[in-house]
């Protein structure tokens, strides 16, 4: 294999376990390379560090596959890695049938996402090196999961940065594109063809369960940015008296209605509205709920968008706090990686000050067991989720 030699002045991120090598870290390359091929990575003193696959057209020039020199990067390696990823899920979430089954770099398979919906897999291949070895991936998926069908959701923009075309459709077998799954005792209809991401957001599994202690038979809940109703459904399952579910998307609300009907929940008021506007109007109308849930989409897609995103987060959290009954709870989240946890907490504190509220933090978390993160890679630390008990400042 060709050799990628790193420069002397780089930070030693690779030695700490980071899975990426950036263009700026490379001193020179020895040997002929073909984009997507495997390469050996050395430091400036000639010490072997890792093996990975290369794409000179990408800012992430090499993605690390292993830091064990004895590993051979072949079909069996891919099969073993997929089997290890699934064994981890089975251990951490016993009996799980639907979850994120392979999570890219965190499962040492950079550029590969696999979500399992019962006996159907949905796959995203995000990098050239994985695309070149997709036959090995398919072998591993068939051997480990024995799925009824595999659907490709390679319709994401990041593929174009890797020089790959977008595509979607069945890769193996055939199945319906709406699949019924169950999580935390709640049933969902998942649209694997046109739903966001691969159809469902598995990363909030444990956080959805975390609202259980907040809910009682007299609890009223406002769920903003409800999307297809996941937090709303959990609130209903745990016995909420009434839930108001708000989302700007008519399609999302229609799916949320179907999910509520699927579970037999009739105590929900569905509202199609901009959540920012709804929250402001609810404050003006003097409305209040026992629990207010804010789970918006990412407001910051880049570092340049952070200041604007924080203004958006403060807006919804300020009004959300005003809508919580004294002694009730604010449930709030951000999936914007660029909004770091300290900035998110600082924003919450500013919103509480302006709303004349005192907050008691009762729960703080990130993504669930099926979304592990490498300690050395901050990029995997994107989700921030918190529950605060809210008291008026006298």
Q: Any idea which residues carry the catalytic annotation?
A: 335
Q: What DSSP designation does 228 have?
A: T
CA angle 52, 55, 59 (to 5 degrees): 105
Is 134:125 a contact under the CB 8 Å cutoff? yes
Q: What DSSP designation does 212 have?
A: G
CA distances from 344 to 195, 338, 373 (A): 28, 10, 19
Q: Where are the beta strands (DSSP E) in 55-199?
A: 60-66, 98-103, 112-117, 120-125, 149-154, 167-173, 178-183, 186-191
CB atoms within 10 A of CB 7: 12
Alpha carbon distance 140, 143 (integer Å): 5
Which element (helix H / strand E) includes 327? strand 324-334
């Amino acid at each position: 294999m060709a050799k990628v030699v790193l420069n002397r002045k780089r930070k030693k991120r690779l030695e700490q376990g980071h899975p990426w090598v950036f263009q700026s870290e490379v001193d020179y390359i020895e040997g002929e390379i073909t984009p997507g091929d495997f390469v050996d990575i050395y430091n400036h003193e000639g010490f072997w560090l890792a093996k990975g696959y290369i794409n000179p057209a990408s800012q992430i020039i090499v993605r690390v596959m292993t830091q064990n020199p004895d590993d051979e990067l072949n079909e069996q390696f891919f099969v073993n890695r997929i089997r290890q990823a699934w064994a981890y899920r089975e251990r951490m979430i016993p009996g799980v049938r639907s979850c994120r089954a392979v999570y890219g770099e965190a499962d040492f398979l950079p550029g590969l996402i696999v979500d399992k919906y019962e006996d159907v897999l949905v796959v995203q291949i995000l990098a050239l090196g994985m695309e070149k070895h997709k036959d090995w991936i398919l072998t591993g998926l068939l051997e480990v999961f024995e799925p009824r069908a595999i659907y490709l959701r390679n319709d994401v923009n990041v593929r174009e940065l890797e020089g790959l075309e977008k595509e979607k459709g069945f890769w193996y077998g055939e199945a319906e594109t709406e699949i019924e799954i169950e999580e935390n005792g709640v049933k969902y209809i998942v649209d694997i063809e046109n739903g966001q991401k691969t159809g469902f957001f598995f990363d909030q599994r444990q956080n959805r369960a975390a609202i259980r202690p907040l809910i009682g038979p007299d609890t009223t809940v406002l769920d903003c940015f409800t999307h297809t109703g996941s937090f709303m459904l959990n609130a209903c399952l745990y016995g909420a008296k009434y839930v108001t579910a708000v989302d700007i998307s008519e399609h999302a609300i229609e799916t949320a209605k179907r999910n509520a009907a699927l579970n037999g929940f009739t105590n929900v008021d569905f509202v199609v509205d901009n959540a920012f506007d709804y929250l402001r109007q609810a404050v003006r109308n003097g409305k209040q709920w026992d629990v207010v849930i804010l789970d918006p989409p990412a407001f910051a897609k880049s570092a340049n968008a952070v200041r604007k995103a924080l203004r958006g987060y403060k807006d919804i959290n300020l009004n959300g706090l005003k809508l919580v009954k004294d002694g009730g709870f604010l449930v709030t989240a951000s999936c914007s990686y660029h909004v770091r946890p300290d900035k998110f907490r600082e924003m919450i504190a500013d919103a509480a000050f302006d709303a004349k509220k005192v907050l008691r933090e009762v729960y703080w978390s990130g993504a669930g067991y099926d979304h592990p993160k490498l300690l050395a890679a901050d990029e995997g630390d994107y989700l921030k989720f918190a529950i605060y008990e809210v008291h008026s400042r006298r």
